[in-house]
Structure 1
């Protein structure tokens, strides 16, 4: 359920409106499709390594193991900072949501939310999982209702009492607003909306039967991208014009989801949708704090941070890492005195580009992982094969790198310094952290040679019980197979 909807948050619910205004309906749909394809290939590459070595930290651990110490440090810092900023982003977005109902002191609501996230993450991991399950289920149901309402609105049950069809696709500058410049500027917002899916693999070390669960997670990625992202972008572009008043502002009152619910004539539609967005922020913030704390734990266990970050409480939760990430998210949120909307835009750019960099590193490490296996003649030992190799990982590396470089070129002409740094500041963080650790190692850090890669430590072996369950599942047919699959996935 975390894979299906756990990481859906402000990027989809709030960011699509601004993207529609910036690039138009077709740019919105295509940017989600292209980034979605990149994410799917990335997840296949990551899943291959995660099944073989289901360890806490996942791709950040593999970056050190199949890359170098400096690469491991850089991606760990990069992704931990990503999650801390995500916590701050969800706290900030909470202010925008509450402004829909009241002008009550924004920081009080966000502080309550902040403390609640800490509570969810310092007790037994089952509480985290149970909370994410129900919040994810709520988001799934709401988005399906949104699709139904969108069809009704488009068919004519709207404020204008007329059939809409695709008329907004030929309205004004649509379907491509601001041409190629507007189109390329949407890649980061799409990456922000889809970000977090790769962090599901961070839980591999705490997942029962990863050889069964992780491939199932990868398959769900494909359908999640199509249903939750492409369908959403499609319906929003159909029903809302790109020049809708205030759509490009940071106010949640103009969230496309809220607008569509209001258009159908439901009096409580706007309030209901904003309430769902609020729960989605709890879910996304909860997930970001969970993932960030595991990264801080890995920074300690791999020798980058002091060993105090590896301390566990009686529930085996890395509580020091949780508190550290929680405080960092709170400090980032503290900068919202500059304006909640302005801060959220910066966080969207930072986290979106950070996601793209992480996906690029996963592609690089996947290629080195496979080349190392081939060099040692051990490719046949793979428990889950990435069927897209080598095209998939190379697509992630080459095209992902291209997106990273061109996503902010719209800020160059006319040049606006604030917008430029907002678009590219994260691109400077990654190489700086890489060089920093390389200097700490006094320039002696090298990428591990293919023939010296360790493919034995932490390798996963199925238990006898898991093999028996797998054999039992393969014998089921018809209704019994459906019931077993439904219970495995949703109950």
Structure 2
């Protein structure tokens, strides 16, 4: 398979306006970079990203990014460390926080559907230096997530006593890179069907879990709430165990925020993004809470091999096993293996797009933003996938232990992403009001979260970040666990300061148009402050990058309206609700 990579040295004979567009891009980019802001990576042009994801695929991408190893395997760790009550309470709390966060992100992603999503919003509305650190942090989060998912695959394979399971991880890695190297539609379609399988399996699990609890198990006895009253339950490990579950819950819910990353490649984003935001998370929250409740009822927290340094067993597989069918348990384990593949596919896609945004914003080497003719940033894909080599370190420390550390790192990184969405939303809303723009001009507004939404997210997520590492300090300090919980905080701070030190430089002149474009202010010497670059909400331009519907969008909406108003409209409503 030959791959053609766009370069500024290669002309496309079929596009006569290419040179003029590239020149305009370069001029706008230089103007942005001169004042420390970020340009918006373009889409839907040869040599750039393509809007090839449908609403059907975007909804399933959001589900696939959340219902994965965190739910199928992470719940085993949560149950073993915190008990059934801690797990249910923590997942419910984090679920509500993430839902509000998703609404805040939906407002910005609908108004400005750009590649980079919330990392670009943090730069534009909050602080360029913070946005720089956040972008690299989230890219690392996605890259490590791929390694975490490939490590999880090795844990899943232990159910069948597979030797040299790292070979399967290698095969998965090659497959994921191959799919992501073709075109965005291939990625979207793979995610759609893998996610559909996971959703169907969870529905079956919920039904089976109720049956098992009611007496349809190998012991033929009613379980009820028996496992909530065994020694150590329902709160295992006291406050330390309770706090520790927050990070595994954050790992499990992580990925929901990346639906904003898909905004730059979504068809008709001003209509489709609100639909995704309104419906997707309710489905996810429903699946999570019911599944976790049934896991806590049907699986004891001290089940042998549930979670330790060498192995982690999925509670889903245990419940299927309790139903008395080894075949059903193997099927469940196979589904979990496909979910690992789906989660890795999702993380690799998101990490690649973040790297593309970094490169297009002059925060990473320029060659990383070059794309194939199919709109795939191939070099960014290869760099992101290279981090996955971490998964092969399992042979030194054990798959269970390595996965636990990677899970902590990714969980905290997810929380930093949610915190950043809250900060960006706070500044975006402030700018909208200060500049006198009517709320009716917003393409989507989560009215019930005004004005408390951003403050709620910032405060609650900050508390989660600080308290979840309690068990690594008390009653005994564990250095490795402590580092996995908190290492990203000083790294974020160091990268922000580095950006201020090296990018805070003299600007020749800041005319009115440049100030309006970026929202930056200079001092009397014409220099951006080196230690203070909070964006001015009164001058940041709210008009740039607002999405304007094109004829294709109107045609799609017309087709949808005709379907819903026709004789089979009720069938189409069911289809749109499910698909």
In structure 2, relative to structure 1, the CA distance for the partners of 1:446 and 1:280 (3 Å cut) is same
TM-score (norm 2): 0.81
Render the CA deviation track for 1:350-394: whole Å, top value 9, x for unaligned: 000000011001001100000001111114321100221222221
Shift of 1:472: 7.0
1:114-263 equivalences in 2 (<5 Å) = 114-249=173-308, 254-263=313-322
Residue 537 of structure 2: aligned partner: 450
1:369-420 CA-to-partner distances (Å, cap 9, x unmatched) read 0000111111432110022122222111001101111110122122122221
- Deviation of residue 425 (structure 1)? 1.6
Distance 1:253 1:339, change over 3 A: closer
Do the aligned partners of residues 11 and 250 (structure 1) sit closer, same or farther apart at CA in structure 2, a change above 3 Å counting? farther
> Aligned partners of 2:273 and 2:110: how far apart in 1?
7
Cα distance in structure 2, aligned partners of 1:253 and 1:157: 25
Matched ranges for 1:16-31 at <5 A: 16-31=75-90
1:17–1:254 contact (8 Å) kept in structure 2: yes
Match of 1:463 in 2: 550
- Pair 1:311-2:370 in alignment: yes
Q: How does 1:8-19 map to 2 (within 5 A)?
A: 8-19=67-78
Distance 2:370 2:539 in 1: 31
Secondary structure at the counterpart of residue 538 of structure 2: helix
Name the counterpart of 2:31. none
Give the Cα separation in 2 of the matches to 1:252 and 1:273: 17
Question: Are residues 444 and 402 of structure 1, via their aligned partners in 2, closer, same or farther at CA, if it must alter by over 3 Å?
Answer: closer
Aligned to 1:432: 494
Alignment match of 1:383 (pick from 440, 443, 446) = 443
Q: Matched residue of 2:423: which SS?
A: helix
Structure 1 residue 470: Cα displacement: 4.4
Greater helix share, 1 or 2?
1
Query: Aligned partners of 2:207, 2:64: CA distance in 1, in Å?
Result: 18
2:70–2:248 Cα contact (<8 Å) kept:
yes
Larger radius of gyration: 2
- Whether contact under 8 Å (1:70, 1:445) holds in the other structure is no
Partner residue of 2:400 out of 326, 329, 341: 341
Whole-Å separation in 2 of the counterparts to 1:433 and 1:316: 30
Q: Is the 8 A contact 2:472 2:481 kept in 1?
A: yes
Residue pair 1:261, 1:273 contacting (<8 A) in 2 also: yes
Unaligned runs of 5+ in 2: 1-59, 505-529
Q: Is the alpha carbon distance of 1:150 and 1:223 closer, same or farther for their aligned partners in structure 2, counting shifts above 3 Å? A: same
Post-superposition Cα deviations, 1:164-219, rounded to whole Å, max 9, x if no partner, equal 11121222232222222211111000000010011111011110011221111112
Deviations 1:325-350 (A, max 9, x none): 011223x2243333222111111000
1:324-335 alignment to 2 at 5 Å?
A: 324-330=383-389, 332-335=390-393
Contact 1:42 1:362 in 2 (8 A): yes
Distance 1:284 1:479 in 2: 39
Select the residue among 461, 484, 488 that pairs with 1:422.
Answer: 484
- The yes-or-no answer on 1:40 pairing with 2:81 is no
CA contact (8 A) 2:103 2:446 kept: yes
Question: Alpha carbons of 1:323 and 1:489: their partners in 2 closer, same or farther (altered >3 Å)?
Answer: farther
Q: CA offset at residue 482 of structure 1?
A: 3.3
| Matching residue within 564, 567, 571 for 1:483 | 571
1:175 match: secondary structure: coil
Q: Provide the alpha-carbon RMSD of the alignment.
A: 1.9
How far apart, CA to CA, are the structure 1 residues paired with 2:392 and 2:160?
22
Instruction: Work out the CA distance in 2 between the residues paired with 1:189 and 1:299.
Output: 28
1:144 Cα deviation (Å)?
0.7
Q: 1:460 to 1:416 in 2, by over 3 A?
A: same
The offset of 1:448, in angstroms, is 1.4
Distance 1:465 1:441, change over 3 A: closer
Inter-partner Cα distance in structure 2 for 1:334 and 1:35: 31
Give me the whole-angstrom Cα distance separating, in 1, the residues matched to 2:451 and 2:234.
34
> In structure 2, how many angstroms separate the alpha carbons of the residues matched to 1:375 and 1:471?
36
Q: Deviations over 1:204-261 (max 9, x none)?
A: 1110011221111112243233322111110000111112222232566631011000
How many pairs are equivalent? 490
Q: Does 1:405 align with 2:480?
A: no
Which residue is 1:62 aligned to?
Answer: 121
Q: Which runs of 5+ in 1 are unaligned?
A: none
| Greater relative contact order (Cα < 8 A, sep 6+) | 1
TM-score if structure 1 supplies the norm length?
Answer: 0.95
Q: Is the 8 A contact 2:309 2:398 kept in 1?
A: no
1:288 is aligned, of 340, 344, 347, to 347
Q: 1:441 to 1:24 in 2, by over 3 A?
A: same
Q: Establish whether residue 98 from structure 1 lines up as the match of residue 160 from structure 2.
A: no
Q: Deviations over 1:265-291 (max 9, x none)?
A: 012122111111110011000000000
